[in-house]
Chains A and B, each alone.
Chain A
């Protein structure tokens, strides 16, 4: 008679595996439950904290940033929705919403001057003027958060880094490498000449002029033929920070 070796063994093994699996699932469940509980505790403590320090959070940008970082660590986004606990607690959604609206206003108002690109610091200064607040009360971080919210709304706003600065783009114009290079070069004096561009990047005159003329057509540059050396200068309003503003020193 042939014995079927191991079927029972196999069945056993299967049963054991199942049992282990159940135990494993339980353990996982327990762990998850514990974690959920810990998270819930943490969240309610965070809410308590937010309630207590509501006014500090509104007034102090450094505090605000640290609060955001704390929230991020536990996977809480106080700006995720304008309804619900967080918005009611802090009105913080309102703060960024309002900021976003003001940012849009300023970008639209300055578009005909700078072609839809504005230096972030310049934007901050103009925002502070608008809000009649000091430069210190509105941090770069605040602006970046408000803009990222705008981005989520699909409004085409974006922050790009060019050279040493951050520029806020409010038009769909894409900048290629040649253009970004020129913008970065222009940050030194606010303008460039064809000669400077050629020299800096070792480009042909044609390539330099092409890039500059495109930037001109996009409204990002303005020409200046008034210098006594007779050389045409291409000025870039988006890298010139306005000096006629109230507020503190540039960061």
Chain B
């Protein structure tokens, strides 16, 4: 009998955070092995646990899964969070890829120089308010339903609320022109599994800080310069 999924990553958000969100939303308890040292990472490599030598890695249902999207798709499909047919899946995929692109802008932010951080922040707000949020605002306005796709809670809703909260951390009034998204945020935040995940003490990770950046660089021995998009 398979135990709880086990997540291998640094003690921070990075590429693992959407996976934590989705497992939490699905009501799945999980364990974490947090990578603090180079030695831990090298052991995973030596044991052949990382298919492409990278984390995230999630032990789940007898598999050592890598690649964020592969892991997310598996969890979504397994827990009925991926729409009821091909067309709903197509919509969910489109919406999730959009929020992935948006969160991708924020993902690299902590690794940038102070000048590049300023530039990137402007890009994040600009893209959020002109390219991404208007799309989801319109989707909700047009169908008037509670959830993005198929009148049913799905992966797309989890991913969207995660991205909204992330952008709000950078600019607290970013939803001021998006009343549908404000209502959506309140609604989804109140879903019991989500509410629990948003409470202190959950496995949700905080905004990345310098300590996180230092840990990632140390463990991966990746000291190259990251440039803004």
Tell me whether A and B are bound partners. no
